[in-house]
Amino acid sequence: MTHRIVIVGGGAGGLELATRLGKTFGKKGTAHVTLVDANLTHIWKPLLHEVAAGSLNAHADELNYLAQAKWNHFEFQLGCMVGLDREAKTITLRATLDEQGAELVPQRTLAYDTLVIAVGSTTNDFGTQGAAEHCLFLDTRQQAERFHQQLLNAYLRAHANLEAHEQEITVAIVGAGATGVELAAELHNAALEMAAYGLGRIKPENLRITLIEASPRVLPALPERIGKPVHTTLEKLGVKVMVGAPVSQVTAEQLVTQDGTVVPAAMKVWAAGIRAPAFLQDIAGLETNRINQLVVRPTLQTSRDDDIFAFGDCAACPQPGSDRNVPPRAQAAHQQASMLAKSLKARLNGGALPEYRYKDYGSLVSLSRFSAVGNLMGNLTGNVMLEGWLARMFYVSLYRMHQMALYGLWRTGLAMLGSRIGRGTEPRLKLH
């Protein structure tokens, strides 16, 4: 029987792995590769803040899983994993419903010989009172589009109101990590574009953006020399930055920090912390940590089952020589996907599996069209600080590298050409 590889999760890592394996095993028929995801299309998660602000049209940049599967010799199954039977070696997919709530695809099981779980992460609100009820999250395209629609609706209401010049739109973002920082900058850009397209009864400075961070500085996971210029640039853009201010309560109209400071906000985004999806917690007896991540060995095999691998944000992978796990970054998922493509080839051939060692190539943070800041780390570059236009070009290249892993050089080049041509016929901001 042909070896069955099932990959659950069509994020950047899972989709890249399915594409690689399809080109090798699927094309030759040496293994049957199946990718499972709850959506029909993929969009690169680091771009969701641009979808939320309206500077990226998700319909133009989405990838269709069915088409990708056809082009790269793997199978796509629509569904959301909700169960695992390790003894029978099957996973259970929840029934998929249509927009009216009718059953579109029934609940079913899929058999596997090798299972790879790459379901990513969701935002962690740490149980903060009112956060789940009153904050928007940016874990999915649907959530990002919902925020954009709320922002656009606020501007449209103001445009129809003769007293709009006296109004303000207040937005609070909890979490000054990469997502929160980039969203704040994109929203300032959106305010400028809204005014340029005729929705100027609310002036750009009347979009009041507050960025709230519990740690003593912005971008706490990155070197301080990156955080300082980012903090300065945000304040120059008119963003109010609050650091050392953990949020203790969220209501419909405001946020309250632990020291009692009240931050009025009609729109609230929670972008602080991550956790793996709740269904993974102790699933089928697999070992998980306090944020639901599957504990894996350096081979990326789960600690209690050699036939189940996990990688990306949903996996707690140790770093040799450190008491910390591999950080939840896109570059880690890319590296792990590349290694797993080799690992599964070795596994089918009865060879030894390689062990993953995280290589930090630096971090880049985009401040919309205004700037970008970051550092590059490598054997040739050492540790080089980047800022401004050059950093922005390197940041854009990260997405192009993701596209190349999925499309190849020729189709990525065509996509870049089409994007450039479209700039002259489309607004710079999504206005619907």
Which H, E and C letters describe 99-112, residue by residue? CCCCEEECCEEEEC
Q: Are residues 266 and 283 in the same domain?
A: no
Res. 365: pLDDT tops 90: no
Q: Are residues 265 and 296 in the same domain?
A: no
Strands 122-123 and 262-264: what pairing?
A: unpaired
Across the range 334-341, mean pLDDT stands at 95
Q: What are phi and psi of 2, to 5 degrees?
A: -65, 135
In whole angstroms, give the CA distance from residue 400 to residue 190. Answer: 23
Q: Count other C-beta atoms under 10 Å from residue 165's C-beta.
A: 12
Count of domains for the chain: 3
Instruction: Quote the pLDDT of residue 353.
Output: 96
Q: Are residues 74 and 12 in the same domain?
A: yes
Decide: helix, strand or coil at residue 4.
strand
Res. 332: pLDDT tops 80: yes
The token duo for 201 is 């009864």
Q: Are residues 244 and 172 in the same domain?
A: yes
Task: Select, from the ranges 112-116, 382-386, 406-410, the one with the highest average predicted confidence (pLDDT).
Answer: 112-116
**Across 200-214, 257-271, 292-306, least confident range:** 200-214
Res. 381: pLDDT tops 60: no
- Do the domain assignments include residue 355? no
Q: Are residues 111 and 144 in the same domain?
A: no
Q: Are residues 248 and 158 in the same domain?
A: yes
For residue 13, which amino acid is it? G
- Do the domain assignments include residue 308? yes
Q: Which residues are CB-contacts of 189 (< 8 A; sequence separation ≥ 6)?
A: 53, 55, 368, 369, 370
In whole angstroms, give the CA distance from residue 173 to residue 151. Answer: 14
- Do the domain assignments include residue 254? yes
Instruction: Quote the pLDDT of residue 382.
Output: 47
- Do the domain assignments include residue 432? no
- Do the domain assignments include residue 357? no
Q: Count other C-beta atoms under 10 Å from residue 256's C-beta.
A: 16
Q: Are residues 114 and 178 in the same domain?
A: no
Dihedral angle, C-alpha 277, 270, 100, 15, nearest 10 °: -50
**Residue 193 CA from chain centroid, whole number:** 25
Q: Are residues 281 and 262 in the same domain?
A: no
Instruction: Quote the pLDDT of residue 423.
Output: 65
Instruction: Quote the pLDDT of residue 277.
Output: 95
- Do the domain assignments include residue 42? yes
E strands in 288-381: 294-295, 301-302, 305-310, 315-316, 362-367, 371-378
Among 270, 287, 308, give the residue marking a domain's end: 270
Q: 165 falls in which pLDDT band (50, 70, 90)? A: low
Among 270, 301, 318, give the residue marking a domain's end: 270
The token duo for 189 is 């850009």
Burial class (CB in 10 A: 0-12, 13-18, 19+), 280: buried
Decide: helix, strand or coil at residue 211.
strand
Q: Are residues 138 and 264 in the same domain?
A: yes
- Nearest to 5, CA basis, from 38, 36, 31: 31
Q: Are residues 192 and 221 in the same domain?
A: yes
The token duo for 49 is 């803040």
- For the chain, give the mean pLDDT: 89
Is residue 147 within a helix (H) or strand (E), and if so which, with residue range?
helix 141-159
- Please tell me the pTM assigned to this model: 0.91
Among 270, 297, 315, give the residue marking a domain's end: 270
CATH of the domain at 215: 3.50.50.60
Q: 378 falls in which pLDDT band (50, 70, 90)? A: low
Task: Select, from the ranges 157-166, 363-372, 387-396, the one with the highest average predicted confidence (pLDDT).
Answer: 363-372
Q: Are residues 151 and 242 in the same domain?
A: yes
Domain that holds residue 380: 362-422
- pLDDT 10s digits, 107-143: 999 999 999 999 999 999 999 999 999 999 999 999 9
- Do the domain assignments include residue 113? yes
Q: Are residues 106 and 22 in the same domain?
A: yes
- Do the domain assignments include residue 237? yes
